[in-house]
Structures are given as C-alpha cells and as structure tokens.
Structure 1
Amino acid sequence: MDTQKYIPVRHLCDLYHTEVSFFRELDEKGLVEIISLENSLYVHKDKLYEVERIIRIHRELNVNIEGVDVVLNLLEKLDQLQNEVLRIQSRLRLYEDDR
C-alpha cells in the first residue's frame, strides 16, 4: 500500500501533543480510521481536517470522545437541515417569480 497518502500517527501525536491511545480510541469509536502498515499506524491525509476538528472539539470544549461523536453527528444533521432549507427556499422563489 502506498504510504504517501497516509500520515503516521506518531507524527500527529507529536504535532498535536497527544498520545497514540487517543487515536486508537478515535478508531474504536469509528471517528477516524487508523490503518496499520509495517507495524506503524497511519491516518489517511484526506482525514486530517476531521482529526483537527475532533481535537479542537475535544480540547477547546473539553468534550470526551463520546461527546465528540455526538457533536459531529449534530453538526452533520445541521448541515443537512441547512441544505434542505436552501433547497426549499429555492423552490419557493420559483413560485414567487410566477406572480
């Protein structure tokens, strides 16, 4: 497997001043997928934004991992609802323009 698409968890631990166990817990809860290659743990580069978002929620809001999962689910639901509101507003404009 091509490791150029992955970031070593050890590097992320140094960068964010956290432990490997934190990333393992994220993997166990299904928040971030951890890949094991050649006796090392990696996170896909595309997931770096999610990792940073999780760490910010965890640290700045002092939320445990289970709470982070809830917050992320609520944010996803909020995005869906905002998109639905935009879609409905767009449809309403069609009817308003017909007047």
Structure 2
Amino acid sequence: MQTEEMIPADEFCMHHNIELSFIYALQQSGLVEIIHAEEKIFVPVNELNRLEKLVRLYYEMDINLEGIETITYLLQRIHDLQQQIVQLNSRLGMYETE
C-alpha cells in the first residue's frame, strides 16, 4: 500500500488531540489496522471513518476498550443479520405472486 493512501498516525493523533497509545490499543484489540512503513506508523485511509467513530466512543462518550469491542461486535452482527434479511426477502420474492 502506498503512503498516499495512508495517514501518518501521529498527525491523526495531533489533529484529534489523542494519544498514540490509544491507536496501538485499538490495533491490539483488532479494531483497526495500522501499517508500519518507513519507520513511521500509518493509518490506511479506508480505516479513518472507523477510527474516528472509535475515538468518539472512547473520548466523548467515555466508553472503555472492552465496551467498544462489544459495541463493534454487536454492530457487525446487526449488519450481518440485516444482510441475511435482505437475501431471504429476495429469495422469498421469487415464490410470492401478486
């Protein structure tokens, strides 16, 4: 992945006024991906939305990492179930006649 597609983690931290250790903790929990390149730490651009949501949960709503992990898991589960409902409705539509 080229560095143009990544944001330096220290710049992200300065912009959001957070500690770099928070990003490391999220990475260790498997909640975000970080890249080590050129002796620097980068956040892929496609991770920025997720990372900003997690920052708000932690710093603005005062939810700890375990709570964030639980929320993330439940939101993913809801998304998966919604996808399953769409698929089942699609299959059911083949059998319905109006």
TM range (shorter): 0.7 to 0.9
SS at match of 1:21: helix
- Report the aligned-residue RMSD: 1.7
Structure 1's consecutive aligned runs of 4 or more residues displaced over 3 angstroms after TM superposition are: none
Aligned residue for 1:33, secondary structure, equals: coil
TM-score (norm 2): 0.86
1:56-95 aligned within 5 A:
56-95=56-95
SS of residue matched to 1:26: helix
Consecutive unaligned residues in structure 1, runs of 5 or more: none
Partner of 1:34: 34
Correspondence 1:14-29 to 2 at 5 A: 14-29=14-29
Q: CA deviation at 1:82?
A: 0.8
| Aligned counterparts of 2:90 and 2:60: Cα–Cα separation in 1 | 36
Displacement of 1:37: 2.0
Q: How many residues align?
A: 98
Per-residue deviation, 1:12: 0.6
Amino acid at match of 1:40: K
Instruction: State the alpha-carbon separation in 1 of the partners of residues 10 and 61 from structure 2.
Output: 24
Q: Percent identity?
A: 34
Secondary structure class of the residue paired with 1:14: helix
Q: Which runs of 5+ in 2 are unaligned?
A: none
TM-score where L is the length of structure 1: 0.85
SS at match of 2:96: helix
1:53 aligns with 2:53: yes
